[in-house]
A and B are shown apart, each in its own frame.
Chain A
Amino acid sequence: MKALSQKRRHPLAAVALLLLGLLLTGGLYAAATSINDAQATNAAEAYSASDVEEGERLFVANCATCHGINAEGSDAGPSLIGSGAAAVDFQVGTGRMPMQMSGPQAQKKPAQFNDEQTMQLSAYVASLGSGPAVPDEEYLDVEQGNIARGGELFRINCAMCHNAAAAGGALTEGKYAPALDGVESRHIYAAMVTGPQNMPEFNDSNIPPEDKRDIIAFLKNNESQGVPGGFSLGSLGPVSEGLLIWTLGLALLIGSMVWLTSRSS
């Protein structure tokens, strides 16, 4: 300390002090901003006030008839308070909402809103009450997923409704579990978290985000592999196979019987 105090009047002392100060503030600032970034992505609530405002305008114009002017719900549609951004992203992003017609279940159709509008609607609904957020990119990266584990989780939690080949299946009274091929990873994720329509909810304490990523990785891998066994007939099992053999197969048999017993010209 003595040496330091002796040199404090050195001509270069001011320059050294300045440099030190700059380094310190610069470093702190960098650290602070990266923490902020991290918080923003973790919460995935990076919506601006104008997004919420624009989303509310879209909501009042397109959704309020059924869901109520303040999203409080009505006889025609449930309350959306606390549904969260993920639910909106799924329902609007896959075209299920606005609903095409009333029926046992909202059907997938071309999306009615573009990505920005969907994001704004999500922002508005997310602002009403906390709910599942749109998933982090990290959990949609199938490269990091464990396909074998995903397959096991899928067979236990999902395959009974969505079919072992993810080809979908029928439920009661006109409801059905849709096929999962061609569904975007974020929508698969959102469906698990929010449990749309009659699907049960698989929240993060039941299936952690990493396990959800494994399931998505399994589905995407399944999709890319094709069907090595020939015609899959929709992978629906005895229904489509039986229909084929009872129509085409029997027709072929009857046809060959007619041919066998007919006279040659």
Chain B
Amino acid sequence: MGEHGNGGPNSGAVIKAGEGRSSGYAIDNPGLPPHRPRLSDADEKAAKRAERQVSALFLISIIGTVMFFVGYFAVGVTAGDLQMLRLQNTLLGLGVAFAMLGIGLGVVQWARALMPDHEVIEDRKPLRKEADRAEAAQTINEIVDETQIKRRPLLRNTLIGAALLAPLPAVIVFRDLDRSEDFGPERMRHTMWEEGVRLVRDPTGTPIRASDLTVGSAVHAIPETLREVSGHGDRLAEKAKAVVLLIRMNPDDFEPVTPGREDWKYEGIIACSKVCTHVGCPVALYERHTHHLLCPCHQSTFDAAEEFKVIFGPAGRPLPQLPITVDDEGFLIARSDFTEPVGPTYWERG
């Protein structure tokens, strides 16, 4: 600013077309286009109209704020009354939106239509020489000298020590968010499944007979021992690791099994961990005819016929399979824990 000296704000262009300073370039600087007065500059009526527009926008803002308070205080929401809750939400949302937008749009319209709109050229400061750089370097050096940090190593060393130690409380605080004894990646390695533990339905807890599953069935199962875990948080944590999807397929549909897994399924019943090996979403979108399992988060697809091999998507390895069989009474039981950690691949597994 500063090139518009005297006269009113709308006194005209500072530089007119054709007055561009000769710059030595092939094409001369044409300067600014001629200033064109706005309707509101020339016509007092138009200016009045713009004024009314702006104040109307501010008024909308005021109404919006009032709407917010009406919604907040006057609309009584009783438990279970969703109609009133909906009305309240609408009033709160629209009220705040009008209150903010009204002020914002009003100020912009004010600036566009009424405030002076003369053009101004501000030249870029010419780049300065090496001397300036040396001057800046000298200033910094002076500051360093004045702190006396070089002369007094005790100051420097204690500062370094303090700065190194200061973040440690944060480490301790975060570490103490979980004080359990098995803290660390090891706890992700094992789940509650072990030999002889019955598979029970989630959430009812009833045991599952092999004959309960018809071909094409899908059952969500948890270990029976889960109910013995005390503490809601611990139970949820154990459940999150141990959840299993049980499906029964036509036994002819299975691909040949890997050696060592021959007795992992019972008839056509096969069980897998529901925790996706990508980032741990629950994989349970089961298609009975294609026997594909789809993860809803990133579309990793696993094939139940091929021991839950990844056939599409970002997951890095198959879903862990739970070895199962039946006990004397015909209920499904686990043969052992999962033979590999469930869930997303973590650093130790590479």
Contact = CB atoms under 8 A, between A and B. Distances in A.
Contacts of B36: 263
A226 B89 CA distance: 13
Contacts of B108: 259-260
Interface in A155-177: 156-157, 160-161, 169, 171-173, 175, 177
Interface stretch (B12-20, B66-74, B211-219): B211-219
B350 interface: no
Q: By CB atoms of chain B within 10 A, which of A152, A171, A263 has the most?
A: A171
26 contacts: A156-B203, A156-B220, A160-B282, A160-B284, A160-B296, A169-B285, A172-B294, A172-B301, A175-B287, A195-B217, A197-B289, A198-B287, A198-B288, A201-B216, A201-B217, A202-B218, A206-B208, A206-B213, A206-B219, A225-B82, A227-B86, A228-B82, A228-B89, A260-B108, A263-B117, A264-B112
Interface of A: 152-153, 156-157, 160-161, 169, 171-173, 175, 177, 195, 197-203, 205-206, 211, 225-230, 259-260, 262-265
Nearest to B90: A230
Nearest to B88: A228
A235 to B, nearest CB: 14
Interface residues of B, number: 46
B158 interface: no
A172 B288 CA distance: 12
Q: Which 8 A-B pairs have the closest CB atoms?
A: A200-B218, A198-B287, A205-B212, A264-B112, A160-B284, A201-B216, A264-B113, A228-B85
B202 A156 contact: yes
B285 A264 contact: no
A171 B296 CA distance: 8
B247 A169 contact: no
B241 to A, nearest CB: 16
Contacts of A153: 203
Interface in B175-215: 201-204, 208-209, 211-214
Contact of A229 (B89, B208, B209, B211): B89
B278 interface: no
A230 B89 contact: yes
B35 to A, nearest CB: 11
Contacts of B286: 200
Contacts of A171: 285, 287, 294
Given A226-B83, A230-B89, A264-B40, 9 more contacts: A156-B203, A169-B285, A177-B285, A195-B216, A197-B289, A198-B288, A202-B218, A230-B86, A230-B93
A196 to B, nearest CB: 10
Given A156-B203, A198-B290, A228-B85, A203 B214 contact: yes
Given A172-B292, A260-B108, A265-B38, A200 B86 contact: no
Nearest to B299: A172
Contact of B312 (A152, A157, A172, A228): A172
Interface in B89-128: 89-90, 93, 108, 112-113, 117
Contacts of A161: 284-285
A159 B245 CA distance: 14
